Amino acid sequence: MIKLEKYNPEKVYMFPNGDVATPEKVQEHFPAAAYFVHVVETDQSGEVLGSMENLSMLRGLYEIDPVLDEEEAIRAIEDIRNAPPPEMGPDASERIAAALEFQNAIVMQEHGLSIEPELIVRNVERGLWSADQAVMAAGEDAVAMGIVDSAEYGRINNALDGEMAAVGGKMLG
């Protein structure tokens, strides 16, 4: 967990390399800290000077409300830095697997078989399949799965029928 605190020019810290960070050494390494408000990233005990950053720059970087006082802004930045990372989207192997599952679903449907509804729902929820693909793979069952409503199913199905007729006409013509 990241802990932030307002830099105290009278406090003695420890640099990550084990060297003692006296106020004089900190001033030597971070001269701007004598003129501008800085924030120290430290350990839970507040002993290690892990990094030193300008509070104004951090406010801008994290879009911190300017109405907040320094301590409130530091807490808001700390909360942002300690928030869990956002969930990553599907990786390449998951996208490839979803494409293969879609191909299998189409072939299975052509042979009167169906693919597991959970797989279809998962691929739609993860953004790996569109509603159109779900309708192609599941047919009218896409409505029962809650992926599309009846009106959207009708629109998609009509559009797919139109595309298939156009493709069939080109092949025959």
Q: Which of 14-18, 56-60, 78-82, 164-168 has the lowest mean pLDDT?
A: 164-168
Average pLDDT over residues 70-93: 93
Q: How does strand 20-21 pair with strand 51-54? A: unpaired
Average pLDDT over residues 15-37: 95
Cα–Cα distance between 159 and 32 in angstroms, integer?
64
Burial pattern 44-69, b for ≥16 Cβ within 10 A else e, equals: eeeebbeebbbbeebbeeeebeeeee
pLDDT for 167: 53
Return the H-helix or E-strand segment holding 72.
helix 70-82
Average pLDDT over residues 15-35: 95
Return the H-helix or E-strand segment holding 168.
helix 150-172
Are 21 and 40 spatial neighbours (Cβ–Cβ below 8 Å)? no
